[in-house]
Structure 1
Amino acid sequence: MMRERTRLEEAIGRYRALEASLNDNLELIEMGEAEGDAAIVAEAEAALKAARDVAAEAEIETLLSGEADANDTYVEIHAGAGGTESQDWAQMLLRMYTRWAERKGYKVELMERHDGEEAGIKSATILVKGHNAFGWLKTESGVHRLVRISPYDSAARRHTSFSSVWVYPVVDDKIDIEVSEADVRIDTYRSSGAGGQHVNTTDSAVRITHIPTGIVVACQNERSQHKNRATAWDMLRARLYEAELQKREDAAAAQASGKTDIGWGHQIRSYVLQPYQMVKDLRTGVETSDTDGVLGGDLDPFMAAALAARVKGGVESVEDID
């Protein structure tokens, strides 16, 4: 109840601040024009433009009305085929989403990470904590394509790499997901990467495989196997819940558009660094030449467009890709 109260107070406070900014700056413009003071007018107009951006983000957030949109979320990243090149791209994506979350004021926890042999990562899972974290990130599930001159190619040739992103919400106590222990296989193994002597020399990491669906989750961020096991169970319930949400959404999309045989694994966005610089979302057509900004976490324009199209009917689901 306190979390809900805080959310409502923040929403009301933002609305009142926008209203006050609008009224105050309109008065300043009138006063500046009456007095012939161009500096006051310019300052007030700049403030109105800033308020417009805040209002646009608030408008998008009103679309986050799904039953799990307000929840925290897990983000899984997996390198595609291609060895070191794809693993480096996966690490770039991990950094990109971490930077995006930090810009939003969200908290990020690394749940699991498997490093590549030479560079990059084979896979990683992060937990993003914050209001509407899943709502914002849910349209990022899919395959992300990178085109660049490979720093690992002595001939300096252009390479194309693929990595996949999978986003699913944390299941809170309002959502009941039952999982039979007979349907899972639990494996323990030694954690990889930094973490101290205890982490790297004991079988504290836990992997759970849900046999009926083939869903696999893993956790290695705690020293205690018991804590990792509990977290892995939470992650599994979250994945199963997200799978059920996906079924409902796919059914609704098929009914609305008649499209079938569309999987989440289709490419959703291209990041081209050579021979030109361009990031383009293939679902909405949104593009930018500021590749450094995007890779540094400036993802809101892509997320907002995908979310608006998804909710308003332009794209019925993340998978609605030609």
Structure 2
Amino acid sequence: MVRACSSVDGKSKVYRELRLFSLKRKIEDAVQRTEKMAPTALQIEEAKWIKLDGLIRDYDLWDDPAKSYDVLVKLADMARAVDALRDLTYKAEEAKLITQLVEMDAINYALFEQAYTSSLDMSKFLDCYEMLKLLKGPYDVNGASMVIKAESNGNYHEKRRATNGGITSATVEFEFDYAYGCLQGERGVHRIISGSETGSTIDEVSLAAVDIIHLFRDSAPDLKISEEDLLILCPSSSPEVKVIEGWSGVVIQHVPTGFVVQSLGERSIFANKIKALNWLKAKLLIAARDVGVPSINGFKKENVFDVWRDKVRRYVLYPRKHVKDVRSGVEMPDLYSVLDGNIEPLIGAHIQMRLSNDMPP
């Protein structure tokens, strides 16, 4: 009995030492990467911050309030980047010290686990920092609105209920910086399918189109849209809409392009109308850039991007659960991890593909 207990204790000690060795290697890799990247990145961000701060000191902010706002926003962004990189340096020094103390058995296992958690944070921050530096589009820094619509036969996501039960569409707003730059690769058709991709029978469980609209950071640009090109539906102008749909929002259609935007979440019809118009302006600006025209005049429906025509991703449920990104070719074996929101590898792959192919964002 004593011999058996001794054997179990010995195995536990071996497993513990192997885990410590594995975690130590991962911590050292993260620390080494941080020590290599953080000082240079911090030096660059500090230089940019000091330069812009000096310009502000020599500039009368009251002469041009609009320009001053943009400058102050940039200065705040740079200050946050500097603080984050300094904090990253401190975390790396702390994690490095803990790994050294572990070798001398001077700390407990819980503190070592804390160092490992810090190393994960360091790696995640550096991945994000590197990716954001690739986003240089004119609207990449903006927030984003994600609009998800189910196919006519589908009932996938939403906040607006279908007349035959289920949910047909949802809108989610992301107000953090670079949301549009990161999420615009999600624009297109997402398919959840059951069955073999190469087999004779494929049962489509759900089909949804995702559109990504960038959110203006302060105010919408003065984009002139002819009232004759707009079809606006709201309860005040169309009482039957309220009876049928049961909501008090605003729907705006841009007739030349066929773009349709809607706002349901504001407290007044006026606020919903302003928000819907801003979304429409954002869609028109992106469409003009995609087509390569200087203005929105003369747009035709056939020249405009249609999210239902562009396949983005397949989520396969059977027989082998996996996710396949159609554009980049990236495949992820952990289906449920992706469905839970782990899409960073897919976002990064699309950004890299966009840069290599010189695609318009």
Partner of 1:58: 129
Map residues 227-246 of structure 1 onto 2, 5 A cutoff. Answer: 227-246=271-290
Deviation at 1:186, TM superposition (A): 1.4
Map residues 23-34 of structure 1 onto 2, 5 A cutoff. Answer: 23-30=93-100, 32-33=102-103
Deviation at 1:144, TM superposition (A): 0.6
Q: Which runs of 5+ in 1 are unaligned?
A: 95-112, 150-156, 191-197, 250-260
CA deviations 1:22-44 (Å, max 9, x no partner) are 334334444544x3779789655
Q: CA separation of 1:26/1:202 partners in 2, compared to 1, >3 Å: closer, same or farther?
A: closer
Deviation at 1:229, TM superposition (A): 1.5
Distance in 2 (CA, whole Å) between partners of 1:291 and 1:301 is 13
2:143 corresponds to which letter in structure 1? D
Distance in 1 (CA, whole Å) between partners of 2:133 and 2:306 is 28
Distance in 1 (CA, whole Å) between partners of 2:80 and 2:234 is 43
CA deviations 1:277-308 (Å, max 9, x no partner) are 11121222322232222222222221122112
Q: CA separation of 1:49/1:71 partners in 2, compared to 1, >3 Å: closer, same or farther?
A: closer
Work out the number of aligned pairs and report it: 267
Q: CA separation of 1:19/1:233 partners in 2, compared to 1, >3 Å: closer, same or farther?
A: same
What TM-score do you get using the length of structure 1 for normalisation? 0.70
CA contact (8 A) 1:204 1:228 kept: no
RMSD over aligned CA atoms reads 3.4
2:227 corresponds to which letter in structure 1? E
Q: CA separation of 1:146/1:55 partners in 2, compared to 1, >3 Å: closer, same or farther?
A: same
Q: Does 1:168 align with 2:217?
A: no
Q: Kindly indicate whether structure 1 or structure 2 has the higher relative contact order, using CA contacts under 8 Å at least 6 residues apart.
A: 1
Deviation at 1:185, TM superposition (A): 1.7
Map residues 1-322 of structure 1 onto 2, 5 A cutoff. Answer: 1=69, 2-30=72-100, 32-33=102-103, 35=104, 44=115, 47-81=118-152, 83=153, 86-88=154-156, 91=157, 113-148=159-194, 158-171=203-216, 172-173=218-219, 175-189=221-235, 204-248=248-292, 265-311=309-355, 313=356, 316-317=359-360
Q: CA separation of 1:200/1:187 partners in 2, compared to 1, >3 Å: closer, same or farther?
A: closer
Greater Rg over alpha carbons, structure: 2
Distance in 1 (CA, whole Å) between partners of 2:256 and 2:92 is 55
Q: Which runs of 5+ in 2 are unaligned?
A: 1-68, 196-201, 237-241, 294-303
Aligned with 1:87: secondary structure?
coil
Structure with the higher fraction of residues in helix conformation: 2
1:204 corresponds to which letter in structure 2? S
Which range moved further: 226-235 or 203-212?
A: 203-212
Structure with the higher fraction of residues in strand conformation: 1
CA contact (8 A) 1:188 1:203 kept: no
